Amino acid sequence: KYSNYINLKTLAKRKGVKFLFETNVGAGLPIINTLNDLVDSGDKILKIEAVLSGTLNFIFNTISPENKLSDTIRMAKEEGYSEPDPRIDLSGVDVVRKILILARESGYKLEMEDIKVNKFIPDEYFEGSVDEFFEKISEVDNDFEERRKKLEEKGDRWRFVAHFEEGKAEVGLQEVGREHPFYNLEGSNNLVIYTTERYQEFPMLIKGYGAGASVTAAGVFADLIKVSNK
């Protein structure tokens, strides 16, 4: 709830302590800190475009004739990129939470239900247990392979994109061409593009590993150092 978010911010300010949560978005990348610096220095956020799921980026970078969708989902779980229940990533909920944080840190009053979610897997596959999900997810492999072939013929790539502009947010699977900054986003990397009043002609880009235990732990440790240096 937005009210809880504001209460935590207010409480931290009243107690004179820091309220840090950098790794909530982009693991160890300085995504939130950079946004805070922009806003605190008087800049205005006009638009945010981002690939915020290292899990989904890994999946869509790995899909191939040899690696079907269901295979890549299992690989993401085994490599530690996905949540223990990968449906949290596949549903887009994780990305919704992240763009919600960035929107709020930009100064906008937004709730999760305000964000439009375009799922790429039918709702029926999100019911039941995790084991049941893995048993039936292969049913969509053939459809995804046909879509992948058409995508490859066009020379485009899939990216699960979060978009925020003029107080409205949306997340979903998009096809991006070679000219787009998201096109060459490797592995499980994240990329955030901030368009602001100062950075309009040439928006600010933040790119790097967006998933994995080591970079996330490093981000948490960095926040701990900031708190201890108060």
| pLDDT tens for each residue of 117-156 | 999 999 999 999 999 999 999 999 999 999 999 999 999 9
Note whether residue 4 is domain-resident: no
Note whether residue 2 is domain-resident: no
Note whether residue 219 is domain-resident: no
Percent of the chain with pLDDT over 70: 100
Note whether residue 214 is domain-resident: no
Q: Is 150 a catalytic residue?
A: no
Note whether residue 6 is domain-resident: no
Task: Yes or no: say if 174 and 151 are a contact pair by the CB < 8 Å rule.
Answer: no
Range of the domain at 93: 31-208
Per-residue model confidence (pLDDT) at position 83: 86
Note whether residue 223 is domain-resident: no
Q: What is the pLDDT averaged over residues 14-39?
A: 94
Task: Report the CATH number that the domain containing residue 179 is assigned in CATH.
Answer: 3.30.360.10
Per-residue model confidence (pLDDT) at position 230: 67
- In the predicted structure, residue 82 carries a pLDDT above the cut 70: yes
Mean per-residue pLDDT of the chain:
94
Note whether residue 110 is domain-resident: yes
Q: What is the pLDDT averaged over residues 204-228?
A: 90
Alpha helices in the chain (DSSP H): 2-15, 31-40, 54-62, 69-78, 87-90, 93-105, 130-136, 141-154, 213-228
Note whether residue 7 is domain-resident: no
Q: What is the pLDDT averaged over residues 7-15?
A: 94
- In the predicted structure, residue 203 carries a pLDDT above the cut 70: yes
Q: Please tell me the pTM assigned to this model.
A: 0.91
Q: What is the pLDDT averaged over residues 165-170?
A: 96
Q: Pick the catalytic residue from 98, 119, 150, 168.
A: 98
Q: Specify the number of domains making up the chain.
A: 1
